[in-house]
Amino acid sequence: MAKTVEYEGYTIESAPHHLVEDETWRLCIFISVEDDRGVRTREFSAEGLYATEQEADIHGTTFGQRLIDGKVAGQSVTDMKREDRRAMPRLRVQFRTTFSSSTIQEGTGIMLDLSRGGCRIESPVIMEPGMSLELRIYAPDIEWPLMIDAASVQWVSGQTFGLAFSRMTDTEHQRLGQVVSELMEG
């Protein structure tokens, strides 16, 4: 009789277990959450037996809601949702970029998103988290490329990597802000 309920961005599915030996039902639920990485599901159960499947379903849904609200001691779903830790929104773009480092003469890539504090780039050049790059961003409608004096590689996934801008001149910071503002108005 599995019952499904949407609650606070999660899906609670009740799937009580029938205990044949004493004709009772044990509460069992599955809580799922979906984000840009796909759907993650986790099983939870609680002590207590119920006379009917319907009773276990009702208690299961309530248990799931209490769990999501953080009211069940020792059990939590907060780690299932990925919080966006970015302080600034990332805007989708497709800008040509070039970069260099102490070990890379000059690499090229396509910037996939941009914010005032960082960006995401796709490039065939092999990157390692922690690397420091000098970056040039060829945004449309600007006379010369934006120059980021230092950007550190935060993560790498295949041919895509994320950068956090760590050093740029005040002038370049203002130009970057103008490009981001125009994109947001876009």
pTM: 0.55
- Structure-block tokens of residue 70: 């953080």
Number of alpha carbons in the 13 Å side-chain half-sphere of residue 69: 9
Q: Last residue of some domain: 80, 100, 128?
A: 80
Sign of torsion over alpha carbons 106, 107, 110, 114:
negative
Mean pLDDT of successive 10-residue stretches along the chain, which has 186 residues: 81 89 89 76 86 91 91 79 58 94 92 92 93 95 93 90 92 93 82
Q: Last residue of some domain: 80, 105, 129?
A: 80
Question: Cα–Cα distance between 50 and 156 in angstroms, integer?
Answer: 49
Query: What is the reported pLDDT for 62?
Result: 92
Q: Are residues 57 and 12 in the same domain?
A: yes
CB neighbourhood size of 150 (10 A): 15
Question: Cα–Cα distance between 132 and 165 in angstroms, integer?
Answer: 10
Tally of domains within the chain: 2
Q: How far is CA 108 from CA 24, 30, 100, 104, in A?
A: 65, 45, 9, 10
Residue 137: which CATH number? 2.40.10.220
Gyration radius from the chain CA atoms:
25
Domain that includes residue 49, residue range = 3-80
CA 179 from centre of chain: 24
